[in-house]
Amino acid sequence: GENVEQHPSTLSVQEGDSAVIKCTYSDSASNYFPWYKQELGKRPQLIIDIRSNVGEKKDQRIAVTLNKTAKHFSLHITETQPEDSAVYFCAALAAGTALIFGKGTTLSVSS
Amino acid sequence: DAMVIQNPRYQVTQFGKPVTLSCSQTLNHNVMYWYQQKSSQAPKLLFHYYDKDFNNEADTPDNFQSRRPNTSFCFLDIRSPGLGDAAMYLCATSRGLGEIEQYFGPGTRLTVT
């Protein structure tokens, strides 16, 4: 079955810096890769997703890149702000299977 | 507006005492999911319903059951909670299966004493 590895587990940056979180997956059939943000005590919320026919997707300060050959995808946050502080989960989905989450990255943005 | 609602937000139960967690949705989505999330870990899918079709993950313990009496409601029943079942339980919904956004509820934090 699918296995998703996520790194780093914790990430501390200064406000205005960029943050990068990386994930690798094992199942070459996986074709959908969402990223969820979970603030303390709140529900996970989708912030961006990418499908296997696309190499990069951007939404304002957030971008995701996908390398299908290497089976890894990354979340990039530019110009970080304190409200970006949260736990970020990557996930991978192969058709007909369940969404498999990475273990999460705790991002702390200090002002 | 609340779209996926979970009750209660906090639940305390005794070891071995059955407990039911509730989820409702106002999105009219076809699929409802139950995830277990332990501290500092990723959400882990227990099972999901596509309409009335129930799909259990292979490694979900038999101690966990689910009911979906109608489109809006889904319940998680834990027949004999153990200390290891203490966790956050997240309900989620989606319009369909596959490459599609899942909307999560706020979760129910279960404590087993």
SS (H, E, C) chain A: CCCEEEECCEEEEECCCCEEEEEEECCCCEEEEEEEEECCCCCCEEEEEEECCCCEEEECCEEEEEECCCCEEEEEECCCCHHHCEEEEEEEEECCCCCEECCCEEEEEEC
Higher pLDDT, B2 or B73: B73
Are A42 and B106 within 8 A, CB to CB? yes
Any CB–CB contact under 8 A between A45 and chain B? yes
Q: Render pLDDT for B30-45 as a digit per residue (tens, 0 to 9).
A: 999 999 999 888 899 9
* Statement: residue A52 has pLDDT above 90: no
Cα–Cα distances in angstroms (integers) from residue B8 to residues A74, A100, A104, B105, B113, in the given order: 35, 26, 25, 11, 17
* Statement: residue A102 has pLDDT above 90: yes
**Residue B1: per-residue pLDDT:** 61
**What is the spatial distance between Cα A69 and Cα A82, in angstroms, rounded to a whole number?**
34
* Statement: residue A105 has pLDDT above 70: yes
Q: Which residues, 6+ apart, have CB-to-CB distance to A38 below 8 Å?
A: A44, A45, A86, A87, A88, A89, A104
> Hey, what are A59's tokens?
């939404």
Are A95 and B98 within 8 A, CB to CB? yes
- Is residue A4 a contact partner of residue A91, using CB atoms and an 8 Å limit? yes
Under DSSP, the state recorded for B18 is -
**Residue A2: per-residue pLDDT:** 82
* Statement: residue B100 has pLDDT above 90: no
Q: What are the residues facing B14 on neighbouring strands?
A: none
**Residue A13: per-residue pLDDT:** 98
* pLDDT, mean of residues A38-63: 92
| Torsion angles phi and psi, residue A9, rounded to 5 | -80, -30
* Statement: residue A53 has pLDDT above 80: yes
- Is residue A21 a contact partner of residue A106, using CB atoms and an 8 Å limit? no
**Highest-pLDDT range among A63-72, A86-95, B54-63:** A63-72
**Residue A11: per-residue pLDDT:** 98
Distance from CA of A110 to the nearest CA of B (A): 21
**What is the spatial distance between Cα B39 and Cα A104, in angstroms, rounded to a whole number?**
11
Considering only alpha carbons, which residue of chain A is nearest residue B100? A32
**What is the spatial distance between Cα A45 and Cα B103, in angstroms, rounded to a whole number?**
7
Q: Would you place residue B2 in the very low, low, confident or very high pLDDT band (cuts 50, 70, 90)? A: low
**What is the spatial distance between Cα A94 and Cα B56, in angstroms, rounded to a whole number?**
17
- Is residue A55 a contact partner of residue A64, using CB atoms and an 8 Å limit? no
Q: How much of chain B, in percent, has pLDDT values that exceed 70?
A: 98
Are B101 and A99 within 8 A, CB to CB? no
The amino acid at residue B61 is P
Any CB–CB contact under 8 A between A70 and chain B? no
Considering only alpha carbons, which residue of chain A is nearest residue B103? A45
**Residue B58: per-residue pLDDT:** 85
